[in-house]
Amino acid sequence: MYDVVSFNISWMYPIVWVLFALALLAVIGCFIVLLLSAAKALKAHARWRTVQTELLLAEALAGGDSVSSDPPTA
């Protein structure tokens, strides 16, 4: 009655594997970029805290009143 046609799709498997490998490489690349950006941000933040600490210590040694042990009066 009806002729059943069997489609051969085995030629698609290598293409699927190549697309999967490219997607995996893209994800790994994005992850590496994310880690490098995070490391750079942490380094910049640590440097900023070091500079702020140095400024506070210099101000305290110069007799600044920004670090006061007296409670504020209302």
Average pLDDT over residues 44-59: 93
Exposed / middle / buried, residue 67 (Cβ in 10 Å: 0-12, 13-18, 19+): exposed
**pLDDT tops 60 at residue 67:** no
For residue 9, name the pLDDT band (cuts at 50, 70, 90).
confident
Q: What is the pLDDT of residue 47?
A: 93
**pLDDT tops 80 at residue 60:** yes
Torsion, CA 63, CA 74, CA 52, CA 59, rounded to 10: -10
Length of the chain: 74
